[in-house]
Every structure is written in structure tokens, then in C-alpha cells.
Structure 1
């Protein structure tokens, strides 16, 4: 199951400690900070939850090239990132807690920004999804016209769960379910909100009905805190109360994200929306009972995937930060163990690995009428699924020289079958100060041999 999370990411910083005295210049507590934790919030939190559950998840977002953006990238280790650039500072929310009690929150760069652009790679990732979660946190990505057009088209094909934001864009018509909390629902419907304690289930049903017509979604699931949620579907317009088990909650942060993630998984698994809603409400309660966001483990150490799969942007960002750009090339028609070993060896030579991939037309000219066996989009997707590959650049020419001239890597890598011979691209690569390197070649493993073996058993 290919799950794609689309939306805005936020860097959440938790400062925790004890407060045993007041500051002498004002009647406010002094918190002696004993712990600092940085984690991905917003759409990043949804993606992290799914990754921790073992689901293959892709996060489609935009990231700024700043310190907070790099911290977000590290906090998202284990999540495949397909991210475009943002020209605005990364939003940061810093919470200060004394014991289990929140003291204050500082927001930096969290104001409204213009609608960001989306890259072709971002749109391709969304188009490949078997389930989509739109986690809108009001930073504009969900308002992008190209993205909205694609989501509206996909709404009839795959389940889309839309988690809205008061400052965000309205859901596109036809999504499977929209999941506002009660306060967000009242704001969107422009109705008097009242407190969560005073709002009745009937009131949630009424506002859900307004939003069902306003958003033209297939269903609205209004969450009502410790009381659970109210589900209203277009097909019968009969409000259904979904009660939540009683739990002791110290910090409700992340409950809505957990609910949206669970809904998407169960809908993609073929469950009816009512059953999926019941399971999602219970799983959100279990998440809070287990400690909420504090229970999520720290990302495993190691080399993080880079913030964009757009090769030229990635190369520029790596170079600007003093890193080494490594590139290699080939057809990669039927990926095999020899390819993977060579790619992993190439990645160890620098700070990112970009694969220059022959297009279908190029492979056809080079390899003959029966090739390629796999089309260029499938080949690129398989390469990007490897931890060692950071980006793919598809080129139409018979040789990679034109792609290399645009990319200008620091290191160009070829298999060891070239050992002892000067690489054809050497003069070009050396013209900008780059160098050519060979990595071990595995002659017993080849695409031709694999294709011949498959032909014998077909």
C-alpha cells in the first residue's frame, strides 16, 4: 500500500524541565530546562506516525533551506521525502513545559505565506498514491492550483482524508472524508462555536451537515475531544456518534494527526467508512493513552534523505552547504543486486547520489527494439526507493554529457568494467574541476542475463 501525505511541515521543539521559583523581575516561573526534543510536526508528524507503524510512506511538502529545515529533514529519517523549495523561513513552534504543565509557546515564522510552487516530482508522487492524507496547516501548499486539480481528479480513484486548517484552503470536492475538530468545524461553517463541553452531539451533526454541502465531500467526521467524533455521510445524512474510550490525557497534541493517519490506512484496506472511523477514534485514544507525541521514538541515526528529489535543486543545496555531489548513470532496466551494490558504493563517496537515467527513447536506440523492459517512470521510482539514491535525472540523449553539463557533479561514478580505461565523460567532468571514479563491477549480474532467465520461465 503506497500512502502519500501532502501538506505543511512544522518544526516542533519541546523544552521540558522543572519550575521551583519565580523570576525576580516579574511574577513568572523560571523553568530549569533539562530536556530538549525536536520533532517534525504538521504533515511531518502524520508521516512519522505511519512510518513507525511500518507503512511505506511518502511525504510531499516544501522545505526551506535553513537550519530549521535541516533539523526537520533529520527528524524525518525513515520517511521518503519529495519536497520542493520554499523561499520562506521554516515554521517553528517551541513549547515550554514545567513538569507536565505547559507554560508558554513561542511561534516563529508561522504566519501566512504565498502559495508555494509544486515540482513535477511532487505531482508524480501524489499520482502514484493508493491513499492520500492532506494535512493542511495553513501554509499554502493545499491551495496550489496544480495540486488541487490533481487531487480533485484522484478523489474518485483513491481514498483521500483531508485534515483542514482554519487558515487553510477548503478541501477539493469529492474527497472521502474531512476531519475538522469541533472548533474548526464551527469556524469553517461560520456558526457560533461555544465550548467543547457545552456543544452537543446534535450540534456537531448540524455543523457537519453545513460543511458537507459547503465542501462537497463524501463525508465529514467532526472530532469532539474526549467524547469521540460525529460522522455524517452524504449517502444517508444520518449523524453517527463514534464514542471514544475514556483515557487520562496529559497532552492531546497529535490526536487529530493519528486519527487522519488511521482513517487513511483503514480506507485503503477496503473498510467501510463507519468501521474505519470507529477504529481510528480508538487508535487515536490509544495513542494518547500511551503518551501521545512523547511516545514516538527518536529517528534512527544515519544519513538522512535529502529534502528534494529535484536533481538540480538538490545539487545546488548540497554545494552551497559545502557538500560533495556524486552522480552516476545508466539504463537500470530490471534493477538487480549488482546495480544496488554499485549505487551503495557510489553514495558513500559524497553527500548525495544523483542517478542520470536513460529515457525510454534513449534505451530503445541503445539496446534495441525489445528494450526497455520497464518504462522510465517505473525505473526512476525503483531507484528512488533505494536509500542510497537521492534523486534521478532522466535524459533523452544517447550519452549523459548534456545532463552532466547541467548537473556538474563533483564526482562521476562508473562501474569497474571501465577500470584501466579513460572514461568517455572524463574530459567534460574535469573541465569544471570534477573527477571520475570507478566502483566494483559485478559481472555475474546483468540486466541481459536476468532478462534471458525470465524469458525461459515465462
Structure 2
């Protein structure tokens, strides 16, 4: 068990170095320990109300939302516990909730997620509930009901008793502090002291302005806003030196390793002594950042508990955060999602938007996107000389899905289909041009006359071809429809054709062979 920062962590600088370093820490599989992680902190019930908005209220200039469904999820420390379980670990939660129906509902959510817990009931303090109203992927209102006063002496006593009973059997302790009153000074000091006596690492997710209360913890994980509040310094997200300066102050004052999450700029580890590690982000398309911090603390803590190095745990936390923000709401991140992403990156396949990839890589990415709830579209063609009709087709295809894969006929395939003299451009050049277009996420070259085999491998959610095809004649339509997907024909741009472009580019014949007419401007 590693109880501090790794002595061999190198200092990284520059985006290219960070990308390379990120990948090198993902050689080991994600295989979490079965020994429990103890989570102590402020728990809450997250309630989601989904609906539609079609009009403005006649009573006031506010949208009228028609409710369609509701969903309950664990929030705060409870969400960290749920994420540890979904990531393949074992979690036990100690927290304080109200003696009310909302506390019972939270207990039901935790039980369904496989979490064991000690929920101390506080008659005088209600369960924190955060209700989010959302239309599609967008929140339009959040309503918080909470009492952030410190826990009563009786609640504090029961929380400490539960911690003392559980801490001897746990692999690591997470202190999830949302500043809602569970983590009093006494609870923090006693828990950290018990953990140090037993050689158990302590990871803190802080909300207090004064980080001195966390002194003695192994790791403290502030985001940039929390770091600025704690130090009074301005910390721009992309300024490595500013991050090092502010985090260094915290590390010196608390003797903890400070892990700073920096949104799109990644994360940084600043130990009390020794070199700093900056790591780039691996975020996907961002739908919702709700609960992303809980996912980071869960994955990082579980990585440390599973005997991964600090750098490896950071890399896994980075992967998990990227998956979390690509999902709507307070979403769980699954162990196989993390392992799938790890496997992809560990193989050296840092896939950028529009990249030319193999069919195998496209299949792996398609599986990852499916787990993330993203729809995948597919279209195909020779795309020999790019024209407005091609651009229109790609835009229409991309508008119907979250990710678009383009199947491109190989040079040999184009020759068989179009005859000698085609293609005009090589497959590599065609792939480069198409991959540079905003609608295209991946390009895959296939050598067969049709993309039938590739479609069977990918099984896209959406298949798009031009309106000059009937749906029943589109190659792969049966595969997509059988799987529950959609087949759509895109509107054509009149007069656009590669064949016409090729014909127009041929030299014009003259009456005198070998001579061209010359027109001199007067």
C-alpha cells in the first residue's frame, strides 16, 4: 500500500509531453480491490425532473414545464460511494441524514447500488435534497433544500462511533466534505488520527475555506475555485506555475499531497516535497458536469486503494471524469467503461477527431460511445473530389447522431466501381480531407465494393445515404433496422457530381492537335 506520493514521479510540462505521459500510466488493467473503501461526509438526495417546454406562462415571463418523468440518485458523499461501487470496488458510507422520508429514499437508492452504510438520523436537520429541472440535456432550474448547520453533538458522537467500528477493516478513507455539517472539526481530526495509526490513506474532497482542518491527510483534492478560496491567490486554469504556487502553500500547511483538478486543463499533483506532475485531460463531449468531482475522487481513491501508483490513479480518475461528463445528470461510471478507454489509449491509439482508423479501432470506440449513451451514425462513399453535395450529406448525417463514422472506399475499390483513371485522389488524401471536416468523427477505409461487412461490425444507430437511393436498396439497411436503428436518405444538392467534375477537368480538344486557343485581352 502506497501511503504518499511516489518518489519517482517526473515533472511534466507542455501539452505534447502531457499527452505522452498520460498514456504511459495506463499499461496496467483496471482491477479494483474487493476490500472496502470507507466514505465519510455530507450525503444528499439528487432528484431529477425531466420534461418539455412548449410555451411561456401567461402569469409571468417564465417557461411552463410539462413533467414527463423523475429520477432519484445519490449525491455528495453518497454519490462518491455509488461511483466506487460502479467502478468495481466496495464502499461503506457513514453519513448523517434527516429523520424524514427523503432520508429513507436515499437509503433505498444506496441499497439498490449495493452500498452498505451507517446513516445517522438527525431529527432536527432535514436531508439535503437538490432538485434539478431539465429539458433534454439542459437544466433550466435547480432547487436546493438544505440546512448547512453543524451536526448536533449526538449526531457527531454516532458518526464517530460508526467510523471507529469500520475503519479497521477498510483499505482507504474518503472524506467527502460539502460543508453541510457532517464533517465537524472533531470528526475530521479523529478520523485522520485513527487512519494514520492504522496506516490507512486518507483522501479529502474539500469545501472549507480553511484547509488546515485536513492536516495529516494523505491527499487533498481541490478544484481551482476551492484552491483560490483557500489561498486567496488567483489560479488561472492553464497556468502551471500558478497552480504549483497555490497548491504548494496548501501542501506545506497540511503535509498532504495536493491533487488539483483543472477542468479542461487536466489535473496536477503537488506533493509537500519533490517534483510536480501535470496531466492532460481526457474529457469527452461535455453534456453535464453534475457529480464529476465525486467521480474523480472515487476513481482516484479506488486506484490508490488497489495499489496503483499515484500517477496511475490520476490517469484512471482522468478517464472516469471524461466518461462522467459525457453523460447527463449524476451518472455512474462503470468499471468496463474505464477499462475499455484504458485499453484504447494504452495501445497507443490517441484518436483525435476526424482520424483515419482501422475497423477494429472504430469498433472499440463505437462500444465506448454506446456505453456513454452516445448515438453513432454511419455514411459511406468514394468521395473522390469533394463537392457541396458531399458536404451537405455529411452535415445532414451528423445532425442525426452524436458521433459520425465515415466509410471510405479504398483506391482498389474505387477503380473496380468507377473504372480506369479513378480515383483522382489517393485514399490517404481523401481521408485527410474528409477527416478535416467538422461533421466527421472517424474515417475507416474498406476494400470491398460495398460497406456491408463494416456496417455489420459497427451496427450503427443511424445509416445515411443520398436520396437517390431507396431505403430498401441501401447496403446495410437490413442490419441497422434489425438492430433497432434508423436508415435515412439525405436531400441531394442539384447538379453536384464527382463524375461531372472529372469530365469538366479534362483538357478541351481543339481543331489543331497539340495547339490550344489563346485569347488575348484587349
Which range, TM-score by smaller chain? 0.5 to 0.7
Counting only pairs closer than 5 Å after superposition, residues 58-457 of structure 1 correspond to structure 2 as 58-77=92-111, 78-86=114-122, 87-114=124-151, 116-119=155-158, 120-146=161-187, 148-155=189-196, 157-166=199-208, 170-192=212-234, 196=237, 200-217=239-256, 219-236=257-274, 238-291=275-328, 293-294=330-331
Conserved 8 A contact 1:21-1:30:
yes
For 1:53-107, what per-residue CA distance to the aligned partner results, in whole angstroms no more than 9, with x for missing partners? 3322110111221011111111111211112232311111111112222111111
Q: 1:192 to 1:22 in 2, by over 3 A?
A: same
Shift of the alpha carbon at 1:19? 1.3
Aligned to 1:289, what secondary structure does the other structure show? Answer: coil
Shift of the alpha carbon at 1:148? 2.2
Aligned to 2:108, what secondary structure does the other structure show? Answer: helix
TM-score for both structures, normalised by structure 1: 0.60
Shift of the alpha carbon at 1:171? 4.6
For 1:431-450, what per-residue CA distance to the aligned partner results, in whole angstroms no more than 9, with x for missing partners? xxxxxxxxxxxxxxxxxxxx
How far, CA to CA, are the matches of 1:135 and 1:40 in structure 2? 13
Shift of the alpha carbon at 1:277? 1.2
Conserved 8 A contact 2:45-2:130:
yes
Conserved 8 A contact 1:258-1:284:
yes
Shift of the alpha carbon at 1:160? 1.2
For 1:140-189, what per-residue CA distance to the aligned partner results, in whole angstroms no more than 9, with x for missing partners? 22225155223224136012110011368755323221111100110111
Aligned to 1:137, what secondary structure does the other structure show? Answer: coil
Which residue in the other structure is 1:53 paired with?
87
Counting only pairs closer than 5 Å after superposition, residues 9-20 of structure 1 correspond to structure 2 as 9-20=43-54
Which residue in the other structure is 1:29 paired with?
63
| Count of matched residue pairs | 292
How far, CA to CA, are the matches of 2:333 and 2:195 in structure 1? 31
Gaps of 5+ in 2: 1-34, 335-522
For 1:235-260, what per-residue CA distance to the aligned partner results, in whole angstroms no more than 9, with x for missing partners? 31x33211112411110111111111
RMSD across aligned positions (CA): 2.2
Conserved 8 A contact 1:140-1:169:
no
How far, CA to CA, are the matches of 2:219 and 2:110 in structure 1? 26
For 1:373-418, what per-residue CA distance to the aligned partner results, in whole angstroms no more than 9, with x for missing partners? xxxxxxxxxxxxxxxxxxxxxxxxxxxxxxxxxxxxxxxxxxxxxx
Shift of the alpha carbon at 1:193? 5.5
Q: 1:146 to 1:44 in 2, by over 3 A?
A: closer
Shift of the alpha carbon at 1:126? 2.5
Q: 1:98 to 1:292 in 2, by over 3 A?
A: closer
Larger CA Rg, structure 1 vs 2: 2
Q: 1:127 to 1:170 in 2, by over 3 A?
A: farther
Gaps of 5+ in 1: 298-458
Asked if 1:4 is matched to 2:35, the reply is no
Conserved 8 A contact 1:208-1:232:
yes
- More off after superposition, 222-231 vs 150-159: 150-159
How far, CA to CA, are the matches of 1:181 and 1:5 in structure 2? 19
TM-score for both structures, normalised by structure 2: 0.53
Shift of the alpha carbon at 1:42? 0.5
Conserved 8 A contact 2:43-2:78:
yes
Aligned to 1:293, what secondary structure does the other structure show? Answer: coil
